Amino acid sequence: MSKQSIILAKVAALKKSFESIEYGYGQRCIGSSIEPLLPRYETLINKLETEFDGLFDDLPNLPLPKKLGNNGNDSLYQRDGITPLINNLDYVLEVYSNMRIGEKSENIKKTNRIFISHGRSEEWRKLQAYLEKDLEHNTLELAQEANLGRTILQKLSEEAQKCSVAVIVMTGDDITEDGEIRARENVMHEIGFFQGFYGLNNVVLLHESGVNIPSNIHGLVYIPFAKDTIDATFGALHRELKVLMN
């Protein structure tokens, strides 16, 4: 793994640590949850400046948050002093990911493969078996590909370039407080991602009945199925893929 890849992996891990901090009354957290992370943040920012040849020169030079006072034997910090640090780390990951897309777009050969996106449900495995064994299409499922030190966003962006069509399995994995059934957040993100990446006509949505469909994704190819019966979509899916894969 290259030095840059190690730094980016540490940036992603630090961002996750910041985001896991718990806040109490007045959006405050205790010092023991934030103070060990601050020197790691400073070290990584310095390494970004020296190892990436000016790529992050526009990164805001933010002051570290200061403690507000004490709560017993521990100090207190305000959330709004921590959020800008998280935004900085998020910006680093976004910029680097977009740069890598540009670097690799000419080197990664786009094959006639199908990207499978899904949530918690195991129904996607039936889909993969059907596409590969019955239709003899090559598929790509993100978790089955090696991480190679990449962030999730980098991995998604780079692996997506190896495919030309996305089939997204939208199952009811989450239930809101008011009882609305929704797909996982990663599925909703990937629907929008693939709409932009492949174009609307090259994204096929397999939709489990009863799962909420946001208005901003209407217009996608839409094939419904009852819970745990994804194989009922295979005939319609085959007809779509005959057009999309030729």
Kindly report the CATH number assigned to the domain that includes residue 128. Answer: 3.40.50.11530
pLDDT-derived band at 51, boundaries 50, 70, 90: confident
Kindly report the pTM of this predicted structure: 0.57
Please report which confidence band the pLDDT of residue 99 belongs to, taking 50, 70 and 90 as the band edges.
Answer: low
Q: What is the pLDDT of residue 101?
A: 46
Give the whole-angstrom CA distance, residue 105 versus residue 228.
Answer: 37
**5 has pLDDT over 90:** no
Categorize the per-residue pLDDT at 236 as very low, low, confident or very high, splitting at 50, 70 and 90.
very high
Distance CA 23, CA 74 (A): 14
Whether residues 55 and 10 share a domain: the answer is yes
Residues 90 and 190 placed together within one structural domain of the fold: no
Q: Are 140 and 202 in the same domain?
A: yes
Identify the band that residue 77 occupies on the pLDDT scale cut at 50, 70 and 90: very high
> Domain check: are 139 and 233 in the same one?
yes
Domain shared by 174 and 155, yes or no: yes
Single residue among 49, 82, 104 that ends a domain in this structure: 104
For residues 24 and 86, state if they share a domain: yes
Residue 151 above 90 pLDDT? Answer: no
Domain-terminating residue out of 48, 71, 104: 104
For the residues 185-212, what does the mean pLDDT come to?
A: 88
More confident residue, 72 or 2: 72
* Confidence band, pLDDT 50/70/90 cuts, at residue 45: very high
Q: Tell whether 197 and 141 lie within a shared domain.
A: yes
CA distance 128 to 131: 5
3-state SS class at 89: helix
Judge if 69 and 120 occupy the same domain. Answer: no
Tell me: do 65 and 33 sit in the same domain.
yes
Q: Give the largest CA-CA distance in the chain.
A: 68
Q: What is the mean pLDDT of the chain?
A: 86
Average pLDDT over residues 100-105: 47
Domain extent for 173: 113-244
- pLDDT recorded at residue 104: 46
Do 136 and 70 fall into the same domain?
Answer: no
Asked whether residue 102 carries a pLDDT value surpassing 50, the answer given is no
CA dihedral 75, 78, 83, 89 (to 10 degrees): -20
If one counts the domains in the chain, the total is 2
Does 118 lie in the same domain as 63? Answer: no
Query: Which strands sit side by side in the sheet containing 138-141, from one edge to the other?
Result: 138-141, 113-117, 165-170, 203-208, 221-225
Whether the per-residue pLDDT at 177 is higher than 50: the answer is yes
More confident residue, 15 or 179: 15
Contact partners, residue 124, CB within 8 Å, separation at least 6: 116, 118, 141, 169, 230
Determine the pLDDT at residue 84. 93
Are both 71 and 127 inside the same structural domain?
A: no
pLDDT at 144: 93
Last residue of a domain, one of 104, 136, 156: 104
In the predicted model, is pLDDT for residue 105 greater than 50?
no
Indicate the pLDDT class of residue 75, thresholds 50, 70 and 90: very high
Output the pLDDT for position 110: 54
